[in-house]
Amino acid sequence: MSVSFRNGRLNAVLEDAIEVLPADALVLAIEAWAHRLQRRLAYRTLDEYELAIVEPLLAVLEPKRRLSLLRDLIGVPDTGARIVTMKWLVTYWDDLGPEEQALLSGALAEDRSDKCWLAATVLTSGSPPELLVEQLTGAAKLLNGTAEEIDSALGAELFAACIRMYRGDPQPLWWYATHHSENPAWPRIVSAIARNPDHPLFGECFVEIASFGKKGELLELVDALPEAALMQAFELLLQYKLGCNGFWRDKSWTRLLERAESAGLLDAMFEGIDAVSDGILENLTDVRNWLGEGRFAKRLLSFYPRDYNVLVNLRLFERAANSLLDSKASDRSVDPDGLAAVMRIFIGDKVEQLEAKPCRLCGTWDALTQALRRQGGDAALEARIYAGREAALERHNLLRDSHSDVSTDIPLDGWVFQIAEPSQV
C-alpha cells in the first residue's frame, strides 16, 4: 500500500479520522508512519508534511507507547527532521509528560554539531517554554529584552541562527516550515537590527522588512537610516527587487531616491538601476508600479526611448485607424482590409527599426504581436517579432539570475544531512 504526503493529504485524512475514530484504531497507522519516516531519511529529504507526525502521535498514542517513538524521532541524525519534531514538541509542551519533556530537554543538551540550530528552533518557536529558554540562555525572560541584550546573551553564532531560523533563509530552513512563528520577539528584533547598518546581520534583516514587513514599515525604515547607509540600502533593495516578482514597494523606493537626491547620490543610484532594470521590468507600464508617476519614474522612462516611442506611435496609429473605422461623420468610405494592410506595413516598419536597434523590454515586442493579430496577422512578421522578444527575454532572465541574494554564501555550519550517497542506499 502506498500513501501520499503531498500537500498534506495524509495529514488531512488522519486529522479527520482522529475526530471520528477511536484512538486505538489509528495506533498502527501512526506507528507505521513513524517507522517509514525513519527509513526514508536515509535516501530522501522529507518535507514538513511527512515530518509532521508529532501532533497526531500525541493525539492517538498513550504516553508510555509513544515515548519510544519520540525518542527514535528526536534521535535521528538528520537536522531537518529533528527541528520539525522539536517544533511540534515545543508547541505541545504543556501536553507532554515529564519523561517527554525530559527527552526534549536532554536532546537540547547534547553536544551535537547542529545544537545551535536545535536551540534556534526552540527560541524562535511561537511560545518557547521558559524552562527551555532558561536552559539555553540562562535567563527565562530573555526574549522580553532588547535586541542588543538578546544578541549579547546568545552570542553571535546562536543569534545569527535564530535570525535565519525565524526568516527561513537560507534553504532548507524555509522548506521545513519552522519560519515566521507568532513569537512577538523576533519581528521586534529583526526591525531593530534592520535599523543598525553596522550590525553583521543588517542586510538579512533589511531584506526581511522589505519582504515581510508590516504596511509602511519599509518606508519608516528608509526614513530612519543614516545617510551613510543609503547606498548600502539601495544595493540591498535593488538586488532584492531583481530577484522577485511583484513586491514593488514604490513609496519606499521614492523615499529612498528623495533622500539620495538630497545626499548627492541620485546619479549613482540611477546608474545602478539602469544596469539591471531590464531584469526587473517586463513592460513599460511596470515603471509606474516601481517608481510611481513623478520625476523618478520619468527618469527611468528616459532609459527606454525605443520602447517608449514604439508604444506611443503604435497607440496613436491604432487610435487613428479605429477612428476612421468608427467615424460616421465622414461620407468617405473606408476599406477595413486596406486599413489593416496599412497597419501591418506600419508594424513591419517598426519591427525593422527594432531589428536594427532593439528595444529593451519583451513586453514591447508583445504589444507589437497583439497589434499585428488585431490586424489579421502575418506569420512571417510575427516570427520576426518572436525572435526579438526571445532576445529581450533572454537578457531579462540573465539579469534576474545574476541577482545577489543576502543569504547566497551563508553556510549552515553544523547542519547534518542524513541522506546517504547513492552507493550506500
Output the DSSP codes for 145-191: S-HHHHHHHHHHHHHHHHHHHHHT-STTTTTTT-SS-S-THHHHHHH
Contact between residue 279 and residue 400 where contact means Cβ atoms under 8 Å apart = yes
Mean pLDDT of the residues in the chain: 93
pLDDT (0 to 100) of residue 24: 85
410 Cβ contact list (under 8 Å, min separation 6): 164, 170
Confidence of residue 419 (pLDDT cuts 50, 70, 90): confident
pLDDT at position 329: 45
Residues 399 and 118: their CA atoms lie apart, in Å, by 37
Which position has the higher pLDDT, 409 or 146?
146
267-272-273 Cα angle (round to 5):
95
Nearest to 404 by CA among 240, 273, 259, 285: 240
Taking Cα atoms as reference points, which of 302, 247, 288, 282 lies closest to residue 395?
A: 282
Decide if 416 is inside a domain: no
Given this model, what pLDDT does residue 250 score?
Answer: 97
Q: Is the peptide bond before 129 cis (omega within 30 degrees of 0)?
A: no
Query: Between the CA of residue 212 and those of 189, 204, 206, 216, what are the distances in Å?
Result: 14, 12, 10, 11
Q: Does residue 322 lie in a domain region?
A: yes
Return the pLDDT at 20: 78
Joined together, the cell numbers standing for residue 288 give 509606474
Domain housing 338? 304-402
**Torsional sign, CA 303, 305, 306, 309:** positive
Q: Which of 70-79, 113-122, 325-334 has the lowest mean pLDDT?
A: 325-334
Q: Region 254-276: what's the mean pLDDT?
A: 98
| Selected residue with higher pLDDT from 12 and 334 | 12
Name which residue leads in pLDDT, 364 or 327: 364
Looking at residue 295, its amino acid is R
Residue type, 152: S
Q: At what angle do helices 217-224 and 202-212 cross, to 10 degrees?
A: 140
Is the pLDDT at 375 greater than 90? The verdict is yes
CA-to-CA dists, residue 101 to 126, 131, 266, 362, angstroms = 17, 10, 57, 58
User: Does 103 map to a domain?
Assistant: yes
Beta strands (DSSP E) in 213-363 are: none
Structural domain count, the chain: 2
Does residue 288 lie within any of the structural domains? no
Using one digit for the tens of pLDDT, what is the confidence trace for 20-37?
A: 788 788 889 999 999 999
Best CA proximity match to 251, nearest among 300, 296, 193: 296
In a domain, 181, yes or no: no
Q: Where is pLDDT greater, at 11 or 67?
A: 67
Structure confidence at residue 316 as a pLDDT band (50, 70, 90): very high
Amino acid occupying residue 182: E
Helices and strands in the chain, H and E counts: 22, 0
State the average pLDDT over residues 83-106: 97
Whole-number pLDDT of residue 325 = 78
Nearest partner of 78 among 403, 420, 416, 422, judged by Cα: 416
Q: Is residue 420 very low, low, confident or very high in pLDDT (cuts 50, 70, 90)?
A: low
Judged on CB neighbours under 10 Å (0-12, 13-18, 19+), 394 is exposed
pTM as predicted: 0.90
In a domain, 211, yes or no: no
The arithmetic mean of pLDDT across residues 367-396, rounded, is 97
Mean pLDDT, residues 55-68 taken together: 92
Residue scoring higher pLDDT (421 or 208): 208
The yes-or-no verdict on residue 330 having pLDDT over 60 is no
The predicted structure's pLDDT at residue 424: 36
pLDDT of residue 337: 87
Whole-angstrom distance, CA of residue 119 vs CA of residue 122: 5
Tell me if 173 is assigned to some domain.
no
Taking residues 204-209, report their average pLDDT.
98
- Using alpha carbons, select from 5, 4, 91 the residue that is nearest to residue 47: 5
145/151 Cα distance (integer angstroms): 10
Residue 150 lies in a domain: no
Average of per-residue pLDDT across 95-99: 96
Q: Tell me the average pLDDT across 9-14.
A: 80
d(CA 402, CA 108): 39
